[in-house]
Amino acid sequence: MYVICIGDILVIGTLGIDWKRTDLTTETTNRTNADSTLQSNLDSEAATRLANVHTLQDNIDAEALARTNAYSTLQTNIDNEASTRTSNDNTLQSNIDFEAATRLANDNTLQTNIDSEATARAAAVLAEENRAVSSEGVLQSNIDSEEAAKISAVSDEATLRTNADNTLQTNIDNEASTRTSNYNTLQSNIDSEAATRLSNNTTLQTNIDSEATNRTNAEN
């Protein structure tokens, strides 16, 4: 029996048996190869990461340069726009001042025209008022005359209507009396006709009864 310590690996074997030594050699080889593969992968990853870092830095530098150029262009545009706006504002203010002066002159002219129109209108109103007062006096006189004529006509019409109403009432009373007399005559005729019909019906019924009795006796 033998004991061998290799690093952290303790190998226990017996004399005449070599298979455990073979396994140790294989494991050592596998571990060495795995370490080499791992180191290769680490080196490859480090190289890739370094390349990516360089690429990222290049992109950042390019973006920074582009941003710097864009800021410069933007500032130039802002300065140009500010200059244009200032020029336009000055032109606008000039136009506003000119329009204000024109409006003031026009307002003064308009006020003068309004004052003249107001004076003319006041004179026209006074003239119309005087004419209206004169015309209203004539109109009132005509109205008074027309009113008197209408009152007289209404009175005459009222008299005619009263006389006509009296005549109509007399005719109505006469018609009512005639209708009452005619109604009484008609009712009397109806009553007489009813009595005659009743008597005739009684006679007819007696004859029918007698005929029925004779028929019965004859059949027996």
Host H or E run for residue 8 = none
Rounded distance between C-alpha atoms, residue 138 and residue 151, angstroms: 20
Residue 103, pLDDT score: 92
Q: Which pLDDT band holds residue 220 (cuts at 50, 70, 90)?
A: low
Q: Which pLDDT band holds residue 110 (cuts at 50, 70, 90)?
A: very high
Tell me phi and psi for residue 178, to 5 degrees: -65, -40
Q: What are the tens digits of pLDDT across the range 58-84?
A: 888 888 888 888 888 899 888 899 899
Mean pLDDT, range 86-91, rounded to an integer: 90
- Cα dihedral sign, 81-85-91-95: positive
Mean pLDDT, range 198-206, rounded to an integer: 88
Neighbouring C-beta atoms of residue 24, cutoff 10 Å: 15
pTM, whole model, 2 decimals? Answer: 0.28
